Structure 1
Amino acid sequence: MRAATGVWRWRRNPLRRTTDLVEAWVALTAAGLLCLLVPLTGWAAGSSAHGSLQRAVRAQQEQRLPTAARVLRLVDVPASGPRTTETAGEQRLRRAVLARWTAPDGTTRTGTLPTARRHATPGDTLALWTDRAGRPVSPPMPPGTARAHALIAGLMAALLTGLTVETVRRLVVRRLVLRRYARLDRAWAAAGPDWGRADTGS
């Protein structure tokens, strides 16, 4: 039905109004933007986000080094290690331990670390990431996670672009409809006084 209506708007006939032709052009323009601009915007945003995130991943991999920490004893105080959204959500499932590890410069460090092990005992070895100064940090972002974030960014940009195009199209069509109604009201006001009289228009 919509296709038939669109064809009718393009055909030359006495019933076609200027607003019908404008509305057809608006619909064609919006369709072209949805087919071209939306994918290009999503691709550009995703590519930009992917490049930025991959640079961040490489920087984190260069600045964060893996090491092993040996558990000295369990502690009851909250862990002073790196806190992320994951560690905050799992805080009640974690234990805090006093551990010792070796910094990249070869010095020995001691500190309180969180561990997911429910039964950590002295002498256990924990995987630990540190910065160049030997401070505990969160692990570097995996490349797969960076790609997933870039994909989400591209999809969101494409979705927002599509919504913007459709919103603009609807606003333009609404303005055209209001203008059409205004012209009908003016035409009715002009013809109204003679409506119903005998020999009107003869």
Structure 2
Amino acid sequence: MARTHGTGVRKVRLWRWRRNPLRRRSDLVEAWVLLAVLVLTLSAAVLVGLAAAAAVDDSLAERRDRTRTVPAVLVEDAAHAAPASVSENGDGAVWAPVRWTAPDGTDRTGRTEVEPGNRAGTAVTVWTDPGGRLVPPPPGGAEARFQIVMAGVTTGVAVAGLGLLGGRLVRSRLQRRRLGEWEAEWRLVEPSWRKRMTG
């Protein structure tokens, strides 16, 4: 709602909460609905975001518990290996074949990222699962914190967006209803106005 002040227009804040002859019951309902949507949306966004962050943290912790480092040996010179398309460490690592011993005592071979200057026979460390298969190293430190924070923020923002969208839909329905009420009242009042204008 706005009030004229001189040549300008001044908005009256929180007019739906103030008693005035122009305020309708639907205006007050809309104000309460918007407040409830805002409070519930912010609360849900925070709670769901924290839950998502905790779930990712638990998942990473479980992944760390299920993997272990084992010593391995380069099978051939890393200088002849193909460069890794995406190196997790960003250090120009290359893919090279390595050999390690599984928990059951059998020798295994596979490819992992190593430094490009390593020669055959160089000792390296690889990550394996309980079955002795090569797996990527679990995120730790800053990378793990980044994944946890991003999971919480992304989920919280998504929940907040859905809540605000729902609030807008409810508000648009209330506005359509209010316009309908205004039109119905105008149809009742308009004949008397016409009489006054023509009288």
| TM-score between both structures, scaled by the size of structure 1 | 0.70
Q: How big is the shift at 1:78?
A: 6.9
In the alignment, structure 2 segments of 5+ residues that lack a partner are 3-10
Superposition RMSD in Å: 3.5
1:89 partner amino acid: V
Are 2:70 and 1:66 aligned?
yes
Tell me the residue number matched to 2:170.
172
Q: How big is the shift at 1:130?
A: 3.3
Distance 1:156 1:199 in 2: 60
Tell me the residue number matched to 1:89.
86
1:5 partner amino acid: R
2:195 partner amino acid: R
Q: Which has the higher contact order (CA 8 A, sep 6+)?
A: 1
Deviations 1:11-37 (A, max 9, x none): 232211111111111122123224433
| Alignment equivalent of 1:5, drawn from 5, 10, 13 | 13
Mapped contact 1:97–1:115 kept (Cα < 8 A): yes
2:179 partner amino acid: Y
Q: How big is the shift at 1:94?
A: 5.4
Distance 1:48 1:18 in 2: 44
Q: How big is the shift at 1:116?
A: 4.2
Tell me the residue number matched to 1:53.
60
Distance 2:113 2:51 in 1: 40
Q: How big is the shift at 1:132?
A: 4.5
1:166 partner amino acid: L
Distance 2:72 2:155 in 1: 41
SS at match of 1:69: strand
Q: How does 1:143-154 map to 2 (within 5 A)?
A: 144-154=142-152
Distance 2:135 2:126 in 1: 8
Q: How does 1:25-174 map to 2 (within 5 A)?
A: 25-60=32-67, 64-73=68-77, 87-90=84-87, 95-109=94-108, 111=109, 113-142=111-140, 144-174=142-172
CA separation of 1:154 and 1:135: change in aligned 2, threshold 3 A: closer
Distance 1:180 1:161 in 2: 29
Distance 1:96 1:49 in 2: 29
Distance 1:156 1:28 in 2: 24
Deviations 1:71-122 (A, max 9, x none): 445697879xxxxxxx5435xx65454544344444444x353444334433
SS at match of 2:72: strand
| TM-score between both structures, scaled by the size of structure 2 | 0.71
Distance 1:118 1:30 in 2: 56
1:46 partner amino acid: A
Tell me the residue number matched to 1:83.
none
CA separation of 1:10 and 1:128: change in aligned 2, threshold 3 A: closer
SS at match of 1:5: coil
Distance 1:23 1:35 in 2: 18
